[in-house]
């Protein structure tokens, strides 16, 4: 065992030795170690290079606030986690860790040159330097800066681990299982509340894990802790979550917790859950998040071997590790003396205690002196010496040799979650830190996170908070106290002192982002007054540690510089997450096939079997085309188009939105909504309906059939199904609650099989029972009920192709059988399945618009040639007043027209811009744009639809379509290319 490991004590298991490697070198640690404690036990202090200057960095803290010791832990090529804090990585046998941000090695890092060049990198350096040319950002500046100023790298292989999520509800959520949290959970549970107690560490106990000399209720603190934890664990009303960080506090007591399930295990079982995201909704929340020791700011305060005093004490008492052999304590508070005394007792030479307070005195100073430690009151700290490890510290002009510098600027309450909950903070002059004042949520803070320090006080505060929380939930509990003995009366920790101002050397305020005093001073000099601006300019507090060890010092410094009291400068916003959260935890099961629901139609498998190529339309998979051997999309679509034009095609239209509008006032309801006249639509007839928003712009379209006097079958676009129903419900419930009409989505009830083409009737006729297909009985835009291939069916005679067409609606589960029956019946007629791409070509040949393709949310009906649909006699409908506004009636609006390229083979790009003469240099103001463009097999040339300013008046003119390398000449035409008389529809 190494010289730095104590012979006994702490919570490590000396019988269980664990092997691990750091940067390829093998070391040994103990069960119970963190990577940081194991490295320190081996005398390793240099663990990383800093972000900007690549300075050697060591271990500053013993917890989640660590800004320096970021490492990558690697299990295999896909399991490589960067930017973990060595202070939180639990050691397991075989752990492989690597330092970051160094090249070629940690000991010799080329990037170190940045430190020597640091006068070139003041605050705002990037903003000032990398300004021009703008194009250089993407190509040069950003890639180079990112490579040089990096954190660890993410693995490139897909994450093979499983992540789970849970919703949980409780009466009282207690965040933090230190003495205050445990007392709070106990009190709430005793009162009858259902409790969740979470803590980010591997075991509950908080500060008690660092060993407290006190007794609680007659037991040694450690024994009391073990009993208290066991009792909570055995309580069915209490759920205890270890290794679980409450990272976000969202409105209405909704908190995000992430539980790390396997990262501490040497060989996790295959398929086990790596992390679990808990979404907790708590009636009451008790925050018992503790406090974070703050560094002092002096030159060279970032050298490996410079450590927070409380952290050194934690390494000693919890992990049995002496962080050095000869230490100097630099402190501005009493609180750090305990660390020096404990280290002294464990055999670490304390060369001196440099107390920055001019009149350092009291029991702690006396205790130190009694122990034979030199206490220098009113000391001034000049800086540290050393290379990759501190070798000395200059106090009041005198250099003291040491290999460990302990520092303490006092404690800052961990108010992150409280502040995230929008609670109001107040500045405490006596403690020189922010403490919670007014809660915004049903929440209360307890213990050190609200500035209540000391074991007895924390237990009492926690118990009171837990009981109050339970009472707020309606439980009645009785107060109980804890008898604490042996706690030193003055063991309270005042907050951070103002930082020392250093004139020489680098005195770091933000270790992770490499922000020094000088950067802050410069920001103040350059006129930054708001702390939020200073933060963005200098990047102080913006690293992944969220400024846990830097914000308070930065604030004190800026306030001093501006000559303002700290509360007048204010504080920056505390944002979630408290510590970084993996994407895996946030995604949970939502990956791969479960990323989003994949919706398929009733006939999907048939299309798969026919070799269809699918496209995503929202969540739907739709068959795009059905290629035969050797066919590309172009060939397949051309063949499918010709089949529909010349014989018959079959198409799966099941994704069309469908809404049953039923009730005595159904016709009146649709009449008020749609532009068309629906009052006059006869039973058994269909009408193409256009739906506007109240602002007059086209929102959706579809065929609407009247099935009975009080029953309509409304179809919508595939993408519009949900929003049209929502809009209808809005008007029904809000504007016209007096109408007796109800809406039911039937999209998924029906399989819709479109049979289109001149031979469509011949295909369907033998399958139909109880339906007369004669044109006189079932003309275009009519609907009939009966049976098709034995299935109960609604048969619509409608067409989106311009051909004689039918849409067979049968209950979804009958879809496959009917589809196959149609195909069998159509075989003799050359029936051909076609997909959405063919459907798009066919409808474009006819000039039928697609809402969202020809329209863009700014088109009124007349713009897209749909003015004919408007019921002229209707006094009102949704959007009517808007399309009568003067601005909408103005000439020169974009109108739907057709385009024919001079070269019939050129298929224009959709979205291409149009100009009225060639060769206009960019940027030009286009006269319009192409909305749809295809090669038309039946016509033998390309076709396009376009929206063009004053387009209908330009028919016959030539326009120029901007394409890469020039302009394409195209003639403006009417937007109907095929069968403009519509004779085929009515066949």
Partner 1 sequence: MLLIPCPYCGERPEIEFSYSGQAHLVRPPRPAELSDEAWSEYLYVRDNPRGRHAERWRHLRGCGRFFNAIRDTTTDRIAVTYRMGEPPP
Partner 2 sequence: MPEPVEAPRLLPPATRFILQCGKDARDAAGRGFGLALPEAACRAESAGGRAALWLGPDERLLLAPAGLEDVLAGELEAALGGLPHSLVDVSHRQAALAVAGPAARELLSHGCPLDLDDAVFPVGMCTRTVLGRAEVVLWRSRPEEYHLETGRSFASYVLGWLREAEQGG
Residues that bind partner 2 (CB under 8 A): 162-169, 271, 273, 276, 279, 281, 588-590, 593-594, 596-602, 619-620, 660, 662-664, 740-750, 811-813
Between residues 17 and 885, which has the closer beta carbon with respect to partner 1?
885
Tell me the three state secondary structure of residue 554: helix
Select from 131, 154, 726, 813 the one that contacts partner 1 (CB under 8 A): 726
CB of 884 to partner 1, least distance (A): 8
Q: Would you say 281 and 301 are in contact if contact means Cβ atoms under 8 Å apart?
A: no
* Per CB under 8 A, 264 contacts partner 1: no
Q: Which does 875 bind (CB under 5 to 8 A by kind): partner 1, partner 2, none?
A: partner 1
Between residues 279 and 492, which has the closer beta carbon with respect to partner 1?
279
| Beta bridge mates, 194 | none
Between residues 107 and 770, which has the closer beta carbon with respect to partner 2?
770
Select from 529, 533, 885, 902 the one that contacts partner 1 (CB under 8 A): 885
Contacts 24+ apart (CB under 8 A), 113-118: 113/54, 114/52, 114/53, 114/54, 114/148, 115/53, 115/54, 115/55, 118/53, 118/506
* Per CB under 8 A, 536 contacts partner 1: no
Stretch near partner 1 under the rule CB under 8 A, chosen from 249-257, 261-269, 353-361, 390-398: 249-257
CB of 742 to partner 2, least distance (A): 4
CB of 660 to partner 2, least distance (A): 5
* Per CB under 8 A, 889 contacts partner 1: no
CB of 812 to partner 1, least distance (A): 22
Q: Would you say 694 and 770 are in contact if contact means Cβ atoms under 8 Å apart?
A: no
* Per CB under 8 A, 250 contacts partner 1: yes
* Per CB under 8 A, 422 contacts partner 1: yes
CB of 441 to partner 1, least distance (A): 9
Stretch near partner 1 under the rule CB under 8 A, chosen from 65-73, 462-470, 752-760, 873-881: 873-881
* Per CB under 8 A, 79 contacts partner 1: no
* Per CB under 8 A, 596 contacts partner 1: no
* Per CB under 8 A, 251 contacts partner 1: yes
Q: How far apart are CA 658 and CA 117, in angstroms?
A: 68
Between residues 34 and 747, which has the closer beta carbon with respect to partner 2?
747
CB of 741 to partner 2, least distance (A): 8
∠ Cα 358 364 366 (to 5°): 85
CA-atom Rg of the chain in angstroms: 37
Q: Strand 162-175 relative to strand 273-287: parallel, antiparallel, unpaired?
A: parallel
Q: How far apart are CA 952 and CA 975, in angstroms?
A: 9
Q: Is the dihedral of CA 187, 190, 194, 200 positive or negative?
A: positive
* Per CB under 8 A, 357 contacts partner 1: no
Q: Which does 250 bind (CB under 5 to 8 A by kind): partner 2, partner 1, none?
A: partner 1
Total residue length of the chain: 987
Place of tokens 């066991």: 230
* Per CB under 8 A, 533 contacts partner 1: no
Six-digit token string for 49 = 């290079």
CB of 276 to partner 1, least distance (A): 18
Six-digit token string for 475 = 């439980």
Q: Which does 276 bind (CB under 5 to 8 A by kind): partner 2, partner 1, none?
A: partner 2
Residues 732 to 761 in contact with partner 1, rule: CB under 8 A: 733-735, 737
CB of 729 to partner 1, least distance (A): 7
Tell me the three state secondary structure of residue 851: coil
Q: Would you say 737 and 796 are in contact if contact means Cβ atoms under 8 Å apart?
A: no
Q: Which does 593 bind (CB under 5 to 8 A by kind): partner 1, partner 2, none?
A: partner 2
Six-digit token string for 959 = 């326009």
* Per CB under 8 A, 254 contacts partner 1: yes
Would you give the DSSP letter of residue 563? T
Q: Which does 533 bind (CB under 5 to 8 A by kind): partner 1, partner 2, none?
A: none
Nearest to 697 by CA among 856, 869, 849: 856
Q: Strand 508-510 relative to strand 768-769: parallel, antiparallel, unpaired?
A: unpaired
Q: How far apart are CA 285 and CA 253, in angstroms?
A: 7
Q: Which does 165 bind (CB under 5 to 8 A by kind): partner 2, partner 1, none?
A: partner 2
* Per CB under 8 A, 424 contacts partner 1: no
Between residues 143 and 792, which has the closer beta carbon with respect to partner 2?
792
Select from 694, 765, 772, 820 the one that contacts partner 1 (CB under 8 A): 694
* Per CB under 8 A, 597 contacts partner 1: no
Six-digit token string for 529 = 């007054």
CB of 729 to partner 2, least distance (A): 10
Between residues 164 and 472, which has the closer beta carbon with respect to partner 2?
164
CB of 583 to partner 2, least distance (A): 16
CB of 606 to partner 2, least distance (A): 15
- Our CA dihedral for 679, 680, 685, 689, rounded to 10 degrees, sits at -60
DSSP string, 575-587: -S-SS---HHHHH
Nearest to 494 by CA among 429, 443, 543, 446: 429
* Per CB under 8 A, 632 contacts partner 1: no
Residues 265 to 284 in contact with partner 1, rule: CB under 8 A: 279, 281
Between residues 625 and 697, which has the closer beta carbon with respect to partner 1?
697
Place of tokens 């450590």: 307
Q: Which does 971 bind (CB under 5 to 8 A by kind): partner 2, partner 1, none?
A: none
Q: How far apart are CA 789 and CA 772, in angstroms?
A: 15
Q: Would you say 668 and 731 are in contact if contact means Cβ atoms under 8 Å apart?
A: no
Helical residues (DSSP H) of 42-178, grouped into ranges: 113-116, 125-129, 135-136, 142-148
Residues binding partner 1: number (CB under 8 A)? 26
* Per CB under 8 A, 873 contacts partner 1: no
Q: How far apart are CA 252 and CA 400, in angstroms?
A: 54
Q: How far apart are CA 50 and CA 302, in angstroms?
A: 9
Q: Strand 404-408 relative to strand 306-308: parallel, antiparallel, unpaired?
A: parallel
Q: Count other Cβ atoms within 10 Å, centred on residue 902.
A: 10
Q: Which does 213 bind (CB under 5 to 8 A by kind): partner 1, partner 2, none?
A: none
Nearest to 812 by CA among 640, 612, 596, 605: 605
* Per CB under 8 A, 884 contacts partner 1: yes
Our measurement of the distance from residue 183's CA atom to the centroid of its chain's CA atoms, rounded to an integer in Å, reads 34
Please report, as ranges, the residues that interact with partner 1 according to CB under 8 A: 250-254, 279, 281, 422, 440, 694-695, 726, 729-730, 733-735, 737, 875-876, 880-882, 884-886
């Amino acid at each position: 065992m190494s010289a730095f490991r104590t012979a006994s004590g702490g919570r490590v298991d000396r019988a269980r030795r664990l092997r691990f490697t750091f940067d390829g070198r093998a070391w040994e640690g103990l069960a119970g170690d963190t990577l940081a404690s194991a490295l320190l036990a081996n005398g390793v202090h240099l663990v990383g290079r800093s972000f900007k200057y690549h300075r050697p960095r060591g271990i500053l803290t013993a917890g989640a606030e660590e800004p320096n010791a970021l490492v990558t832990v690697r299990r295999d090529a896909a399991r490589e986690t960067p930017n973990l804090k060595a202070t939180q990585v639990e050691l397991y046998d075989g752990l492989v860790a690597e330092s970051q941000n160094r090249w070629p090695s940690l000991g010799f890092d080329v990037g170190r040159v940045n430190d020597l060049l640091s006068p070139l990198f003041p605050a705002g350096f990037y903003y000032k330097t990398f300004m021009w040319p703008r194009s250089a950002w993407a190509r040069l500046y950003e890639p180079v800066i990112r490579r040089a100023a990096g954190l660890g790298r993410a693995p490139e292989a897909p994450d093979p681990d499983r992540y789970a999520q849970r919703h949980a509800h409780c009466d009282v959520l207690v965040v933090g299982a230190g003495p205050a949290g445990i007392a709070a959970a106990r009190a709430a549970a005793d009162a009858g509340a259902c409790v969740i107690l979470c803590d980010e560490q591997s075991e509950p106990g908080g500060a008690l894990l660092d060993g407290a000399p006190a007794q609680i209720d007659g037991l040694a603190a450690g024994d009391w802790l073990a009993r208290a934890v066991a009792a909570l664990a055995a309580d069915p009303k209490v759920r205890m979550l270890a290794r679980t960080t409450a990272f976000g506090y969202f409105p209405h007591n909704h908190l995000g917790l992430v539980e790390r399930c396997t990262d501490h295990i040497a060989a996790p079982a295959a398929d086990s859950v790596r992390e679990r995201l808990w979404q907790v909704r708590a009636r009451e929340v008790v925050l018992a998040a503790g406090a974070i020791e703050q560094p002092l700011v002096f030159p060279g305060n970032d050298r490996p071997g410079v450590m927070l005093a409380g952290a050194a004490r934690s390494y000693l008492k919890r992990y049995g590790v002496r962080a050095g052999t000869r230490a100097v304590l630099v402190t501005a508070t009493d609180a750090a003396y305990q660390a020096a005394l404990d280290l002294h007792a464990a055999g670490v030479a304390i060369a001196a205690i440099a107390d920055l307070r001019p009149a350092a005195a009291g029991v702690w100073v006396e205790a130190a002196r009694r122990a034979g430690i030199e206490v220098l009151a009113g000391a001034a700290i000049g800086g540290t010496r050393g290379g990759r490890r501190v070798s000395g510290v200059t106090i009041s002009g005198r250099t003291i040799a040491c290999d460990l510098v302990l520092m303490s600027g006092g404690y800052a309450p961990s108010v992150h979650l409280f502040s995230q909950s929008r609670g109001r903070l107040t500045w405490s002059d006596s403690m020189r830190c922010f403490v919670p004042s007014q809660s915004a949520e049903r929440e209360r803070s307890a213990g050190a996170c609200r500035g209540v320090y000391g074991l007895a006080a924390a237990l009492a505060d926690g118990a009171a908070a837990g009981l109050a929380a339970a009472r707020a939930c309606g439980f009645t509990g009785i107060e109980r106290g804890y008898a604490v003995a042996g706690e030193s009366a003055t063991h309270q920790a005042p907050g951070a002192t103002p930082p020392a101002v250093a004139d020489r050397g680098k005195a770091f305020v933000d270790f992770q982002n490499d922000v020094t005093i000088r950067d802050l001073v410069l920001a103040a000099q350059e006129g930054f007054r708001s702390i939020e601006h200073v933060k963005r300019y200098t990047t102080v507090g913006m690293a992944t540690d969220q400024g846990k060890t830097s914000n308070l010092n930065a604030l004190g410094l800026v306030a001093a510089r501006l000559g303002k009291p700290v509360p007048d400068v204010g504080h920056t916003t505390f944002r979630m997450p408290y510590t970084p959260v993996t994407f895996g935890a946030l995604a949970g099961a939502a990956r791969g096939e479960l990323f989003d629901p994949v919706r398929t139609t009733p006939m999907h498998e048939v299309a798969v079997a026919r070799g269809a190529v699918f496209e995503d339309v929202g969540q739907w998979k739709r068959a795009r085309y059905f290629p035969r051997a050797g066919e590309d999309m172009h060939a397949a679509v051309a063949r499918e188009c010709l089949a529909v034009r010349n014989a018959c095609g079959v198409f799966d239209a099941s994704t069309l939105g469908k809404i049953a509008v039923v009730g005595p006032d159904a016709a009146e309801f649709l009449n008020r909504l749609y532009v068309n006249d629906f009052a006059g639509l006869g039973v058994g007839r269909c009408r193409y309906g256009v739906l506007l928003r109240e602002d007059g712009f086209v929102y959706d379209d579809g065929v609407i059939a009247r099935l009975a006097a009080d029953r309509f079958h409304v179809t919508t676009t595939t993408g519009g199904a949900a929003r049209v129903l929502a809009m209808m419900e809005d008007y029904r419930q809000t504007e016209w609650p007096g109408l007796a009409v109800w809406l039911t989505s039937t999209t998924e009830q029906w399989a819709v099989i479109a049979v289109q083409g001149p031979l469509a009737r011949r295909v369907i006729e033998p399958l139909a029972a109880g339906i007369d297909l004669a044109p006189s009985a079932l003309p275009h835009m009519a609907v009939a009920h009966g049976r098709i291939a034995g299935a109960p069916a609604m048969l619509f005679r409608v067409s989106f192709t311009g051909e004689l067409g039918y849409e067979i609606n049968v209950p979804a589960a009958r879809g496959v059988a009917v589809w196959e029956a149609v195909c069998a019946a159509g075989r003799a007629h050359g029936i051909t399945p076609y997909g959405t791409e063919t459907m798009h070509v066919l409808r474009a040949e006819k000039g039928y618009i697609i809402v969202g393709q020809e329209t863009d949310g700014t088109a009124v009906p007349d713009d897209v040639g749909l003015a004919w649909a408007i019921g002229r006699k209707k006094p009102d409908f949704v959007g009517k007043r808007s399309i009568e506004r003067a601005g909408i009636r103005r000439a020169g609006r974009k109108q739907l027209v057709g385009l024919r390229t001079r070269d019939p083979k050129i298929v224009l790009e959709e979205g291409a811009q149009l100009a009225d003469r060639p060769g206009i240099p960019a940027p030009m103001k286009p006269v319009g744009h192409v909305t749809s463009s295809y090669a038309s097999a039946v016509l033998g040339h390309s076709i396009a639809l376009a929206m063009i300013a004053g387009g209908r008046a330009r028919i016959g003119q030539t326009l120029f379509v901007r394409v890469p390398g020039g302009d394409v000449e195209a003639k403006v035409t009417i937007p109907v290319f095929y069968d403009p008389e519509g004779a085929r529809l009515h066949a």
